[in-house]
Amino acid sequence: MDLEDQGLLKRVIDEQGTENVIVVLGSPDEESARVYAETVTTGDPSWAGPLAGVSLRLPVYHILEDEVRQEIDPAVYEEHVAMMEMVLDTPEITKAVRDVREKGSDLD
């Protein structure tokens, strides 16, 4: 993740805390989804940004995940996301985020 964006994110967490906070990603491929998910759970994997070594352990999801989709109003999901589900490599991307979440997030 961009180092400046990590700084912005860190500021929000410092102000709001991590309680009741989730992260939802819209990353277009498996590798970037994994990097973002790791950044908000176990810390910046590139060890370059403000979130390096910061273990936020936030529950992280990708908008394309089935369990996310199931909660959302189908008509709204259809309008905003459905086409990208066909375009992107949904199984790979969602698996990457799920793996990171299961290892690194404090889930309810």
Partner 1 sequence: MEHPVISAASYVLCHTPQMVRYGSKPSREIAKDGQGVADRIGGALRSFDDAVAYPPNQVFIGNTSPADLRERERPWWRHPVADASRFSSWGEIMPEIEFLGLLKAADQFDVVHLRADAASDIQQALKRHPLGLAVEAERVIGVPPEKFDHLTRQPGSLPLYLDGYSGPVGCVLVGHDEDTNLVAHILLENLATKASAALAVRHLIAEHGLDPASIPYVLNCGEEAVGDRYQRGGGSLSKAIAEQAGLTDASGSDTKAFCCAPAHSIVEGAALVQARVFDNVLVVGGGSLAKLGMKFRSHVEKEMPILEDVLAGVAILIAPDDGHSPLIRLDTVGRHRVASGSSQQSVMQDLVRDPLRRVGWRFTDIDLYATEMHNPEVTEPSGSGNVPDRNYKMIASLAALDGEIGRDEIAAFVAERGTLGFSPTQGHIAAAVPLLGHALRDLKEGRSRRVFFLAKGSLFLGKMTNMSDGMSFAIEGREKPSD
Partner 2 sequence: MLRGKKAIIIGERDGVASPAIEACLKTVDTTAIFSLTQCYV
Contact positions toward partner 1, by CB under 8 A? 3-4, 27-29, 31-32, 35, 46, 48, 79-84, 86-88
Nearer to partner 2, 9 or 100 (CB): 9
Picked from partner 1, partner 2, none, the partner binding residue 86 (CB below 5 to 8 A depending on kind) is partner 1
Nearer to partner 1, 92 or 102 (CB): 92
With a CB cutoff of 8 Å and minimum separation 6, the contacts of 80 are: none
Helix H or strand E segment including 32: helix 30-39
Q: Which two tokens stand for residue 24?
A: 């939802």
Picked from partner 2, partner 1, none, the partner binding residue 58 (CB below 5 to 8 A depending on kind) is partner 2
With a CB cutoff of 8 Å and minimum separation 6, the contacts of 27 are: 33, 36, 62, 93
